[in-house]
Protein backbone atom coordinates (compact mmCIF):
# COMPACT_ATOMS: atom_id res chain seq x y z
CA UNK A 1 0.00 0.00 0.00
CA UNK A 2 1.12 3.55 -0.63
CA UNK A 3 0.91 6.12 2.18
CA UNK A 4 -2.55 7.47 1.29
CA UNK A 5 -3.95 3.92 1.05
CA UNK A 6 -2.33 3.12 4.39
CA UNK A 7 -3.90 6.23 5.99
CA UNK A 8 -7.29 5.30 4.52
CA UNK A 9 -6.98 1.83 6.04
CA UNK A 10 -5.86 3.26 9.40
CA UNK A 11 -8.94 5.53 9.39
CA UNK A 12 -11.17 2.43 9.52
CA UNK A 13 -10.12 1.87 13.13
CA UNK A 14 -8.74 -1.60 12.38
CA UNK A 15 -5.34 -2.69 13.71
CA UNK A 16 -2.39 -1.77 11.49
CA UNK A 17 1.33 -2.49 11.33
CA UNK A 18 3.08 0.49 12.93
CA UNK A 19 6.43 -0.90 11.73
CA UNK A 20 5.41 -0.80 8.04
CA UNK A 21 8.32 0.71 6.03
CA UNK A 22 5.88 3.15 4.36
CA UNK A 23 4.95 4.57 7.79
CA UNK A 24 8.56 4.62 8.97
CA UNK A 25 9.57 6.63 5.88
CA UNK A 26 6.64 9.03 6.40
CA UNK A 27 7.66 9.56 10.04
CA UNK A 28 11.23 10.27 8.92
CA UNK A 29 9.97 12.91 6.45
CA UNK A 30 7.85 14.53 9.19
CA UNK A 31 10.85 14.57 11.56
CA UNK A 32 12.97 16.32 8.92
CA UNK A 33 10.23 18.91 8.38
CA UNK A 34 9.61 19.51 12.10
CA UNK A 35 13.36 19.84 12.69
CA UNK A 36 13.42 22.68 10.14
CA UNK A 37 10.32 24.27 11.68
CA UNK A 38 11.80 24.13 15.17
CA UNK A 39 15.21 25.44 14.05
CA UNK A 40 14.03 28.83 12.77
CA UNK A 41 13.48 31.93 14.88
CA UNK A 42 11.44 33.60 12.13
CA UNK A 43 7.71 33.33 12.96
CA UNK A 44 6.69 33.77 9.30
CA UNK A 45 9.02 30.95 8.25
CA UNK A 46 7.62 28.70 11.02
CA UNK A 47 4.11 29.39 9.71
CA UNK A 48 5.21 28.57 6.16
CA UNK A 49 6.88 25.33 7.24
CA UNK A 50 3.92 24.30 9.43
CA UNK A 51 1.48 24.95 6.58
CA UNK A 52 3.64 22.80 4.27
CA UNK A 53 3.85 20.01 6.88
CA UNK A 54 0.21 19.46 7.82
CA UNK A 55 -2.74 18.35 5.73
CA UNK A 56 -4.51 21.72 5.82
CA UNK A 57 -4.64 24.99 7.77
CA UNK A 58 -6.81 28.04 7.94
CA UNK A 59 -5.34 31.52 7.93
CA UNK A 60 -2.66 32.66 10.35
CA UNK A 61 -1.56 29.55 12.29
CA UNK A 62 1.07 30.24 14.96
CA UNK A 63 3.14 27.27 16.13
CA UNK A 64 5.98 27.77 18.59
CA UNK A 65 8.92 25.36 18.87
CA UNK A 66 9.18 22.58 19.67
CA UNK A 67 6.39 21.12 17.59
CA UNK A 68 6.40 17.38 16.90
CA UNK A 69 4.08 15.17 14.92
CA UNK A 70 4.05 11.63 13.60
CA UNK A 71 3.13 12.28 9.95
CA UNK A 72 1.72 15.80 9.66
CA UNK A 73 -0.58 15.13 6.73
CA UNK A 74 -3.38 13.83 8.99
CA UNK A 75 -3.52 17.16 10.87
CA UNK A 76 -6.12 19.74 9.82
CA UNK A 77 -6.35 23.06 11.67
CA UNK A 78 -8.72 25.98 11.27
CA UNK A 79 -7.95 29.68 11.14
CA UNK A 80 -6.01 31.52 13.85
CA UNK A 81 -4.70 28.34 15.51
CA UNK A 82 -2.12 29.01 18.24
CA UNK A 83 0.14 26.32 19.72
CA UNK A 84 2.41 27.28 22.59
CA UNK A 85 5.71 25.50 23.19
CA UNK A 86 6.33 21.74 23.03
CA UNK A 87 3.11 20.53 21.38
CA UNK A 88 3.00 16.89 20.20
CA UNK A 89 0.46 15.43 17.77
CA UNK A 90 0.56 11.71 16.98
CA UNK A 91 -1.56 11.72 13.86
CA UNK A 92 -1.91 8.10 12.82
CA UNK A 93 -5.61 8.99 12.88
CA UNK A 94 -7.03 12.26 11.63
CA UNK A 95 -6.72 15.30 13.89
CA UNK A 96 -9.23 18.06 13.18
CA UNK A 97 -8.88 21.36 15.06
CA UNK A 98 -11.42 24.15 14.62
CA UNK A 99 -11.00 27.91 14.28
CA UNK A 100 -9.55 30.15 17.02
CA UNK A 101 -8.15 27.28 19.09
CA UNK A 102 -5.44 27.87 21.70
CA UNK A 103 -3.02 25.23 23.01
CA UNK A 104 -0.96 25.84 26.13
CA UNK A 105 2.55 24.43 26.46
CA UNK A 106 3.09 20.68 26.31
CA UNK A 107 -0.33 19.76 24.90
CA UNK A 108 -0.40 16.26 23.42
CA UNK A 109 -2.93 14.79 20.98
CA UNK A 110 -2.59 11.03 20.64
CA UNK A 111 -4.74 9.33 17.98
CA UNK A 112 -2.73 6.10 18.00
CA UNK A 113 -2.65 3.37 20.60
CA UNK A 114 -0.57 0.20 20.76
CA UNK A 115 -2.51 -3.06 20.85
CA UNK A 116 -2.99 -4.56 24.30
CA UNK A 117 -1.82 -8.11 23.56
CA UNK A 118 1.96 -8.14 24.20
CA UNK A 119 2.79 -10.31 21.17
CA UNK A 120 0.73 -8.13 18.81
CA UNK A 121 2.25 -5.02 20.37
CA UNK A 122 5.80 -6.39 19.89
CA UNK A 123 5.00 -7.05 16.23
CA UNK A 124 4.07 -3.36 15.78
CA UNK A 125 0.30 -3.63 16.10
CA UNK A 126 -1.45 -0.28 16.59
CA UNK A 127 -4.92 1.18 16.22
CA UNK A 128 -5.85 4.80 15.54
CA UNK A 129 -9.00 6.80 16.23
CA UNK A 130 -9.59 10.43 15.23
CA UNK A 131 -9.50 13.45 17.53
CA UNK A 132 -11.75 16.45 16.89
CA UNK A 133 -11.51 19.79 18.69
CA UNK A 134 -14.25 22.37 18.08
CA UNK A 135 -13.95 26.08 17.40
CA UNK A 136 -12.88 28.52 20.15
CA UNK A 137 -11.43 25.85 22.46
CA UNK A 138 -8.55 26.36 24.86
CA UNK A 139 -6.48 23.39 25.99
CA UNK A 140 -4.29 24.55 28.90
CA UNK A 141 -0.76 23.39 29.74
CA UNK A 142 0.04 19.67 29.84
CA UNK A 143 -3.34 18.48 28.51
CA UNK A 144 -3.29 15.00 26.96
CA UNK A 145 -6.10 14.05 24.58
CA UNK A 146 -6.50 10.31 23.93
CA UNK A 147 -7.68 8.48 20.77
CA UNK A 148 -11.27 8.93 19.61
CA UNK A 149 -12.07 12.04 21.66
CA UNK A 150 -14.22 14.95 20.50
CA UNK A 151 -14.10 18.24 22.42
CA UNK A 152 -17.06 20.54 21.78
CA UNK A 153 -16.91 24.20 20.76
CA UNK A 154 -16.06 26.97 23.23
CA UNK A 155 -14.72 24.49 25.78
CA UNK A 156 -11.79 24.99 28.13
CA UNK A 157 -9.78 21.98 29.31
CA UNK A 158 -7.78 22.75 32.46
CA UNK A 159 -4.06 22.18 32.94
CA UNK A 160 -2.73 18.66 33.48
CA UNK A 161 -5.97 17.01 32.34
CA UNK A 162 -6.13 13.63 30.61
CA UNK A 163 -9.10 13.57 28.24
CA UNK A 164 -10.26 9.99 27.70
CA UNK A 165 -13.86 10.59 26.57
CA UNK A 166 -15.88 13.22 24.70
CA UNK A 167 -16.32 16.64 26.34
CA UNK A 168 -19.42 18.68 25.39
CA UNK A 169 -19.50 22.26 24.12
CA UNK A 170 -19.47 25.38 26.30
CA UNK A 171 -17.98 23.89 29.47
CA UNK A 172 -14.91 24.02 31.65
CA UNK A 173 -13.52 20.53 32.18
CA UNK A 174 -10.46 19.27 34.05
CA UNK A 175 -8.94 16.31 35.85
CA UNK A 176 -7.56 12.85 35.34
CA UNK A 177 -9.72 11.52 33.90
CA UNK A 178 -11.10 14.81 32.62
CA UNK A 179 -14.67 15.62 33.63
CA UNK A 180 -17.00 18.58 33.23
CA UNK A 181 -16.71 21.03 36.12
CA UNK A 182 -19.29 23.59 35.03
CA UNK A 183 -20.82 25.33 32.03
CA UNK A 184 -19.40 28.56 30.64
CA UNK A 185 -22.06 31.23 31.20
CA UNK A 186 -22.66 34.96 30.80
CA UNK A 187 -21.19 35.35 34.30
CA UNK A 188 -17.78 34.52 32.78
CA UNK A 189 -17.79 37.74 30.71
CA UNK A 190 -15.45 40.38 32.17
CA UNK A 191 -16.17 43.23 29.78
CA UNK A 192 -12.82 42.87 28.00
CA UNK A 193 -13.00 44.38 24.50
CA UNK A 194 -9.37 44.37 23.41
CA UNK A 195 -7.40 47.62 23.43
CA UNK A 196 -10.36 49.57 24.82
CA UNK A 197 -10.20 47.58 28.08
CA UNK A 198 -9.20 49.75 31.04
d(CA 30, CA 22): 13
d(CA 59, CA 161): 28
114 is catalytic: yes
Name the E strands within the chain: 16-17, 56-57, 62-63, 67-69, 75-77, 82-83, 87-90, 95-97, 102-103, 108-110, 112-114, 125-128, 131-133, 138-139, 144-145, 150-151, 156-157, 162-163, 171-175, 178-183
The CB density around residue 122, as the number of other CB atoms within 10 Å, is 11
Write down the catalytic residue from 76, 114, 136, 165: 114
d(CA 119, CA 121): 5
d(CA 161, CA 184): 18
What is the residue-wise DSSP string for 35-53?
Answer: HHHHH---HHHHHHHHHHH
Active site (catalytic) residues: 114
Amino acid sequence: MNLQEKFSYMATGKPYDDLDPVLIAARDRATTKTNALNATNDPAERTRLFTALVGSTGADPVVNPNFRCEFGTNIHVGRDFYANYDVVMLDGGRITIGDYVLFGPKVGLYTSNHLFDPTERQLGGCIAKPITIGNHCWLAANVSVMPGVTIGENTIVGANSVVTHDIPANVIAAGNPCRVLRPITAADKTGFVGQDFV
